[in-house]
Amino acid sequence: DVKVTQSSRYLVKRTGEKVFLECVQDMDHENMFWYRQDPGLGLRLIYFSYDVKMKEKGDIPEGYSVSREKKERFSLILESASTNQTSMYLCASETARTASDGELFFGEGSRLTVL
């Protein structure tokens, strides 16, 4: 079974702290994604990566950065956490994008609270 593992299920951080959310997948997938999920807003794409050291902005990249040094690991970084970044963060992966792809495998999510 494909496994996408997010390092922390729950985090509580202070405003201004640097926050790292880690995601690891074990199926050699090329593509990885970070979404945030908020009530009433659904899932919104923050960043995605199609290959090691490659990254592209999603719909709401402001306040975030990412790192993909190894194929299996995709990290989301909040350089200076703010209260409006309190949210559920979901990592996902999929095999190389083809015209018929879109079957994402998701982790269980990381619920971040910024005080």
Partner 1 sequence: AQKVTQAQTEISVVEKEDVTLDCVYETRDTTYYLFWYKQPPSGELVFLIRRNSFDEQNEISGRYSWNFQKSTSSFNFTITASQVVDSAVYFCALSESGSNYKLTFGKGTLLTVNP
Site string for partner 1, 38-77 (x = CB under 8 A): --xxxxxx--x---------x-------------------
Q: Is 1 a binder of partner 1 (CB under 8 A)?
A: no
Of 16-24, 64-72, 75-83, 85-93, the segment contacting partner 1 by CB under 8 A is: 85-93
Any residues with CB less than 8 A from the CB of 83 and at least 6 apart, and which?
15, 114, 115
Minimum Å gap between C-beta 79 and partner 1 is: 24
The burial of 64, by beta-carbon neighbours within 10 Å (0-12 exposed, 13-18 middle, 19 or more buried), is given as buried
Span near partner 1 by CB under 8 A; candidates 14-22, 60-68, 73-81, 104-112 = 104-112
Q: Count Cα atoms within 13 angstroms, Cβ side, for 32.
A: 32
Site residues, partner 1 (CB under 8 A)? 35, 40-45, 48, 58, 88, 90, 92, 97, 99-109
